[in-house]
Amino acid sequence: MQHIYYEVGSLDKKCYEKFALTEDILMEHAASSIARFIEENFEKKSSVLIVCGPGNNGADGLALGRLLYKEYEVKLYLPFGAKSQMAKLQKNRVELLGLTLHEEISESDIVVDALFGSGLNKDLDETSLNIINTLNQLNTYKIACDIPSGINIKGQVNQEAFYADTTITMGALKVALFNDEAKDYVGKIEVANLGIQRSIYEEKTNIFLLEKEDMNLPLRNKKNSHKGSFGHLNVIAGCKKGAGIIAAKAAFGFGAGLVSVVCHEDIDLPYHIMQTHFLSDNCTAIAIGMGLGKYETEEIKTILAKEIPTIIDADLFYEEIILEKLKSDVVLTPHPKEFCALLKLCEIADISVIQLQKDRFEYVSKFCNKYPKVTLLLKGANVLIGKDKEIYVNSFGTSTLSKGGSGDVLSGLIASLLAQSYNSLDAAITANLAHTLAAKNYKKNNYSLIPSDLVEEVKKL
């Protein structure tokens, strides 16, 4: 996994003070990283339009233009001039080199957005909005320098932002790149080396980007085993029984030795899924909430009171009866609307889904600070998994998963791992990675996924 930061100014400062690296040196390496990307991916003599802002992001763009000059057709456009000290210095250098500035935006093979980067802290003016909108309309490959212009330090897009095919961010990954609002704008994310390796540049952080290698699948290495060796999951089925059945099928396909659906009415189940009217005596994990609807309150209290690894989803996020369970090691998997209801129930915040989506990291942190034993998985374009002081980001999410039943599959996957003795955090991380990577591997039209397709793809990981 990789580190993610709210800001990297303090990391730059360390370079100046501890390693005698100047702002100029860091900027040269930043520009070199973007130049290298262009050289590796585009033919020489391709045209490159670099739109430079008045500050240091624009200075990065000017330095890039100097590095590409003569090998590529470089077009530098400075709509606001050069105002920062570094921007003035870099502008002087390109002018001494003989590189002329352009007065307007023109079609090019490549467009580099070096307008504002992570320094944006106010609304865009009309001129900036017009520039960004014009750039977005160009049919060309688009690269953002640091962060697409229009995205602020929290990852919010309050007006409009540059749509990048690739974002080359400076020094380290930033939270702003992983807010849900930013997902459609950032494209593929690369990190620019600023003159020292990332392991030296970076410091300790509590936010991490998950990678495929962080997925620890439940592979069976023990030969002397039986079905009971791999746990017995109980899935509580409610009014919408299909949700519980989907979760049960996913759990069985992800390694649970036994899976029972708890339902007072007889229901049709696959032959390998059992039914029970009450919790099994040898139950090793519980999944509850999916399609639960109206259920006997006292019975739910009894189930939640069990000291058995539990995942809670869906309808229970609106019910006060879960509050006592939040004092224990439990997994919660709300979508944004459910999480807003939970925040209100817990007296943390009374906010709309829109407000939540603008500050996902903040509210996950607030919840986990109040309930440090809980593992919280907040669904979204980028899934946030919080536990105590730490947040893990899964950026593999895809619109393929935007279908009814996908969340029930996820609940079943997590529950399966809990039944197999994974701890709550590891279960949430591995199951969520499996869930999203399976969706990415789905080869048919991205609108056509059904829960059984997802379960089959998980089996192939």
- Any idea which residue has 């040269």 for tokens? 28
Check whether 121 is labelled as a binding-site residue. Answer: yes
Does 253 carry a binding-site annotation?
no
Residues 6+ positions from 33 with CB-CB distance below 8 Å? 168, 190, 192, 193
CA nearest to 383, candidates 401, 405, 404, 408: 401
Say if residue 57 carries a ligand binding annotation: yes
Q: Where are the alpha helices (DSSP H) in 274-405?
A: 297-305, 336-345, 353-358, 360-370
- Count H helices and E strands in the chain, helices first: 15, 19
Whole-angstrom distance, CA of residue 113 vs CA of residue 38: 14
Task: Categorise residue 43: left if φ over 0, alpha if ψ from -120 to 50, beta otherwise.
Answer: beta
CA distance 196 to 347: 45
Q: Is 9 annotated as a binding residue?
A: no
CB 170 within 8 A of CB 190: no
Ligand-binding site membership of 109 (annotated): no
Give the Å distances, CA to CA, from 76 to 91, 234, 382. Answer: 10, 63, 34
Instruction: Give, for 250, the enclosing helix (H) or strand (E).
Output: helix 241-253
418 near 381, Cβ under 8 Å?
Answer: no
The amino acid at 339: F
Cα torsion angle, 183, 186, 188, 193, sign? negative
Does the annotation list 60 as a binding residue? yes
Residue with tokens 């079905």: 227
Q: Is 56 annotated as a binding residue?
A: yes
Q: Tell whether 35 is in a known binding site.
A: no
* DSSP annotation of 255: T
Is 257 annotated in a binding site? The answer is no
Q: In this structure, what token pair is assigned to residue 439?
A: 């969706």
Longest alpha-carbon distance in the chain: 83
Q: Is 59 annotated as a binding residue?
A: yes
Which pair of tokens denotes residue 259? 């899976």
Is 291 annotated among the ligand-binding residues?
yes
8-state DSSP, 45: T
407 is in an annotated binding site: yes
Q: What's 213's DSSP letter?
A: G
Q: Residue 335, annotated ligand binder? A: yes
**CA-wise closest residue to 364 among 379, 386, 342:** 386
For the chain, what percentages of helix, strand and coil (3-state, to nearest 5) are there? 45, 20, 40
Buried-exposed string 409-419: b where 16+ CB fall within 10 A, e elsewhere: bbbbbbbbbbb
Numbered residues of the known binding site for (6S)-NADPHX? 56-60, 117-123, 146, 243, 291, 335, 408
Question: Could you tell me which residues are annotated as the binding site for K(+)?
Answer: 57, 113, 149
Binding-site residue numbers are 56-60, 113, 117-123, 146, 149, 243, 291, 335, 407-408
State the binding site for AMP.
407
